[in-house]
Amino acid sequence: MYVCLCQGVTDGQIRDAIYDGCCSYREVRETTGVATQCGKCACVAKQVVRETLSDV
């Protein structure tokens, strides 16, 4: 599903960024561009990052 409509970032892309080595929300944001425009997706994006990091 799309987490960030402004940048077209899906939850799968966020997970992939973490599997590829990102280890914080900030790194995921820099890598995928998630939440870099309106910022409305930040809450959900952070949640996906947190969930993914806890099961890597």
Instruction: Return residues touching ligand FES (CB under 6 A).
Output: 4-7, 34-41
> Using alpha carbons only, what angle is made at residue 15 by residues 11 and 18, rounded to the nearest 5 degrees?
145
Nearer to ligand FES, 1 or 55 (CB): 1
Cα–Cα distance measured from residue 41 to residue 51, given in angstroms and rounded to the nearest whole number: 15
Let me know: does 34 contact 10? Beta carbons within 8 Å: no
Q: How far is the CB of 40 from ligand FES (least distance, A)?
A: 5
Q: How far is the CB of 33 from ligand FES (least distance, A)?
A: 8
Nearer to ligand FES, 24 or 37 (CB): 37
